[in-house]
Amino acid sequence: MSSMNIPQSSFPRVIIIGGGFGGIALAKKLAKKDVQVVLLDKHNYHNFQPLLYQVSTGGLEPDSIAYPIRKVLQGYPNFYFRLAEVLEVDTSMRRLQTNIGEIQYDYLVVATGSRTNFFGNKNIAEKGMAMKTIPQSLNLRSLILENFEQALLTDDLHERDALMNFVIVGGGPTGVELAGALAEIKKGILPKDYPDLDTRRAQINLVQGGSRILPAMSAVASTKAERFLERLGVNVWKGIRVTDYDGKLVSTNTDTSFEACTLVWAAGVQAVCLDGLDSKDFLCRGNRLRVNEFHQVDGFEEIFAIGDVAQMESEPYPHGHPMMAQPAIQQGQNLGENLVRMIEGKDLKPFIYRDKGSMATVGRNKAVVDLPRFKFQGVFAWFVWMFVHLYFLIGFRNRVVVFINWVYNYIRFDREARLIIRPFKKQYQVNGKDKVTI
Amino acid sequence: MSSMNIPQSSFPRVIIIGGGFGGIALAKKLAKKDVQVVLLDKHNYHNFQPLLYQVSTGGLEPDSIAYPIRKVLQGYPNFYFRLAEVLEVDTSMRRLQTNIGEIQYDYLVVATGSRTNFFGNKNIAEKGMAMKTIPQSLNLRSLILENFEQALLTDDLHERDALMNFVIVGGGPTGVELAGALAEIKKGILPKDYPDLDTRRAQINLVQGGSRILPAMSAVASTKAERFLERLGVNVWKGIRVTDYDGKLVSTNTDTSFEACTLVWAAGVQAVCLDGLDSKDFLCRGNRLRVNEFHQVDGFEEIFAIGDVAQMESEPYPHGHPMMAQPAIQQGQNLGENLVRMIEGKDLKPFIYRDKGSMATVGRNKAVVDLPRFKFQGVFAWFVWMFVHLYFLIGFRNRVVVFINWVYNYIRFDREARLIIRPFKKQYQVNGKDKVTI
């Protein structure tokens, strides 16, 4: 029946699409219960998105912020993982089409997360860099280093400046954290690595369409983060929208333009929806699926959505919860409990989001933290930021390796993973094999 | 004059091609002397080849066995690194053609190392895997994991077995260490990760053309290593040569054949020679360049070769020193001293190789060590192997991270970096960008 070699079971089958924060939290809740859990993901690992910017900037290795999905749920007899891409949902037959065959579900949970949204701007999508996945983050790492190597070679000062300049579009946590990390590299590493280049000329521009950076945080966090960034030498531009990019010239909706060979687009995400599950009845702005307080997609009893892809409209979140790890984790946990209750014929518990606060780091000893009861910034905030990120990282080995790297980077003002493992500009790969010419 | 933006200097210019063990050792010796040192490499990092097999088998992250070349030689004012591929040597004009322009040299050191030699067998070159570079090692890691994911999906027992089988061609240290690591994964990880697959059926075959494995080591090391491998469940085949491979069927020069979707070719290397420096006068078997006891390539005063690419014929090494880290390092150091002597008009010191011994590890608590004075095997040898490898690894952070990983892997019988970051079989990459469909 199923080409995926997943046995029929007397337990109902729950298929979870996506092994992000939400999918993993849900799978863990269900793994010991009387359900068959099938988790599908097109990667064999869970990745810790909040630290991707440190992979891009050479502070961490990708392997230490990724964790094999099979390992998370090792030893649970009713758990099945399959490396698969879902092609279509047939809601009437309760069946998925995937690149490895068909499979039936009793309950379906969409936890597909989100991807970069270029808002239809093809030039930016083609020439700009996204930073939502590990391969994308490694591509950005390669590009940054390749640009500096290339800057060394040109006598054209304009071109050299462009190769050393950065434009980061989007003043949310990703943009702020990346800008801060680049500023620290500019100060601590570039002058030593490139003594024959005037790296002081490198400009790091953070461009934010709205009136303040970190708009989802408190006003004091925004102000303080901006001050931190400026102290690090980042140019913060507010009320400006990037409109076009040709690989070098960054145009905006104002007179301001930038010459930069590296543009990172962190100005928007959209949920990843699935064919067959994209009716206008429940598809909201940014492709999110409208769900009720039990995570049920509008019109379905047995189809759920959690995390970035779910839009649960509630106060004070009329357009759904923020697209962050916390709502996804809490939703996964709540849905796990509810699915068991549903199967046992019990009443469901509506989801109540517990806002644990939000935070962003700008650089060493510089972070901003908004907790529900109080807000703080600076050194202590930075330690809290580190502790929280280590805590939520999956895997003991990952925590130790990340911690060692942070201690080392802190003491040495260094980031040693500045390696061009797979060149981005100049692909040595031919048909997946390495063309070795030296 | 030079498009590489390397200033003219009153010091003579030494160009080193290749940042491997030899090139780095030489550059370090010269960095404080009255010479201008230009190091060219097509990667921006030095990589520690002896541990590549641990990257392939998920035991280590690539970033911890690689080190930025710029960082090794930070702070030396006469040192220049350029990310470049050398296209041709013009020995009469003392000039190099590279992909980033031309450059003159006063002294040229060829330290290009070696690459996999498939001995002209195109099928094996195309369908088999090499493991000489970090990207190649990551490709192998991806392929192994992808094959197991695929094995889950098929009902054809033949095909499933082939997806789980390994053939490693070549019984040198690389082949032995990889076979041992795979055997440990088979025993400790596969049954937990793939409970619905009969992973006991996975076969690890080590195929050696000669009459014993580790032929460069002592007879007792060979015997003991073979016993270790067999205890781990590796099938060791001796006196058999692999002749062809179609991606599944491995043919040999005997009646024996194997069905395996993973074939790793570790049966030969050849030196990487350069156009314009490939005269029959000095080109030896395997593309090595014949050099005298001062590392001078036959017929040249100012062109040197060190490491794998150099063939210095001496007793007891009529075909040159072994292609390993130690000769390369010692040659780099000797040449560094000699170049200074040469410039100062002093007599040169002939190279004398100090054999510090050789070693190979098979698995936990299992290694073989041949020292010049005594030989030992087992637990103590394994600790010596680890200590020596940590010692020669470049970079404090790398040493700590590798050590942490080893301790963790030892205690937990685990290797957590089993991540398919860039799929090998199914490339998601389109034009260097990530096609995200889920």
Give tens-digit pLDDT for B88-144: 999 999 999 999 999 999 999 999 999 999 999 999 999 999 999 999 999 999 999
CA-wise closest residue to A174 among A50, A65, A59 = A50
Q: Of A419-423, B44-48, B351-355, B428-432, give the lowest mean pLDDT range.
A: B428-432
Whether residue A430 has pLDDT greater than 50 = no
- How many Å apart are CA A263 and CA A320, to the nearest integer? 29
- How many Å apart are CA A165 and CA B177, to the nearest integer? 45
pLDDT in tens, B140-157: 999 999 999 999 999 999
Say what the pLDDT of residue A426 is: 53
Disruptive mutation site among B117, B269, B421 for chain A (greatest number of A CBs within 10 Å): B421
The domains of chain A are located at 122-267
pLDDT in tens, B16-59: 999 999 999 999 999 999 999 999 999 999 999 999 999 999 99
pLDDT in tens, A339-387: 999 999 999 999 999 999 999 999 999 999 999 999 999 999 999 999 9
Say what the pLDDT of residue A425 is: 82
CA nearest A138 in B: which residue? Answer: B421
Question: Which residues of chain B are within 8 Å of residue A405 when distances are taken between CB atoms?
Answer: 397, 401
Catalytic member of A61, A177, A184, A226 = A177
> Confidence band (pLDDT; 50, 70, 90) for B292?
very high
Beta strands across the sheet bearing A358-363 = A358-363, A366-370, A375-378
Say what the pLDDT of residue B426 is: 53
- How many Å apart are CA B181 and CA B9, to the nearest integer? 50
Query: A133 and B436 in contact by Cβ < 8 A?
Result: yes
SS3 call for B162? helix
CB atoms within 10 A of CB A320: 22
Say what the pLDDT of residue A436 is: 30
**What value does the mean pLDDT take over residues B409-420?**
93
> Confidence band (pLDDT; 50, 70, 90) for B425?
confident
Percent of chain A's residues with pLDDT above 90:
94
Question: Would you say domain B13-42+84-116+270-343 falls under CATH 3.40.50.2020?
Answer: no
Say what the pLDDT of residue B427 is: 45
Q: Which residues does residue B114 pair with via DSSP β-bridges, in sequence order?
A: B271
CB atoms within 10 A of CB A303: 22
CB B81 within 8 A of CB B36: no
Residue tagged 């960082």 (tokens):
B71
Say what the pLDDT of residue B406 is: 95
User: Torsion angle of alpha carbons A339, A343, A349, A355, nearest 10°?
Assistant: -10
Question: Residue A289 belongs to what H/E stretch?
Answer: strand A289-291
Say what the pLDDT of residue A78 is: 94
Query: B438 and A62 in contact by Cβ < 8 A?
Result: no
Question: Residue B332 belongs to what H/E stretch?
Answer: helix B325-343
> Confidence band (pLDDT; 50, 70, 90) for A3?
low
Percent of chain A's residues with pLDDT above 70:
96
Read off the pTM: 0.95
- How many Å apart are CA B354 and CA A257, to the nearest integer? 61
Half-sphere exposure of B428 (CA within 13 A, CB side): 19
Residue tagged 């993982």 (tokens):
A81
Query: B135 and A272 in contact by Cβ < 8 A?
Result: no
Query: B422 and A71 in contact by Cβ < 8 A?
Result: no
Beta strands across the sheet bearing B257-259 = B242-245, B249-252, B257-259
pLDDT in tens, B294-311: 999 999 999 999 999 999
Question: Which residues of chain A are within 8 Å of residue B398 when distances are taken between CB atoms?
Answer: 416
Question: Which residues of chain A are within 8 Å of residue B43 when distances are taken between CB atoms?
Answer: 419-420
Architecture of the domain delimited by A122-267: 3-Layer(bba) Sandwich (3.50)
Paired tokens of A383: 């330690």
- How many Å apart are CA A336 and CA A27, to the nearest integer? 7
Whether residue A274 has pLDDT greater than 90 = yes
Catalytic member of B177, B313, B315, B344 = B177
At B366, phi and psi to the nearest 5? -130, 105
Say what the pLDDT of residue A331 is: 98
Paired tokens of A399: 């925590």
Query: A424 and B432 in contact by Cβ < 8 A?
Result: yes
Whether residue B431 has pLDDT greater than 80 = no
Q: Of A184-193, B79-88, B380-389, B416-425, give the lowest mean pLDDT range.
A: B416-425
Q: For chain B, give the mean pLDDT.
A: 94
Beta strands A242-245; A310-312: pairing state: unpaired
Active-site annotation holds for B230: no
pLDDT in tens, B231-282: 999 999 999 999 999 999 999 999 999 999 999 999 999 999 999 999 999 9
Residue tagged 């049920």 (tokens):
A296
Say what the pLDDT of residue B3 is: 66
Say what the pLDDT of residue A437 is: 28
CB A36 within 8 A of CB A80: yes
- How many Å apart are CA A185 and CA A194, to the nearest integer? 12
Distances (CA, A) of A338 to A162, A329, A356: 54, 14, 22
Question: Which residues of chain B are within 8 Å of residue A401 when distances are taken between CB atoms?
Answer: 61, 401, 404-405
pLDDT in tens, B333-383: 999 999 999 999 999 999 999 999 999 999 999 999 999 999 999 999 999
CB B245 within 8 A of CB B253: no
Q: How far is A349 from chain B (nearest CA, A)?
A: 29
Question: Which residues of chain A are within 8 Å of residue B66 when distances are taken between CB atoms?
Answer: 419, 421
Say what the pLDDT of residue A435 is: 33
Whether residue A431 has pLDDT greater than 90 = no
Tell me if domain B13-42+84-116+270-343 and domain B122-267 are identical in fold.
yes
Asked if A342 reaches chain B (Cβ–Cβ under 8 Å), the answer is: no
Question: Residue B101 belongs to what H/E stretch?
Answer: strand B101-104
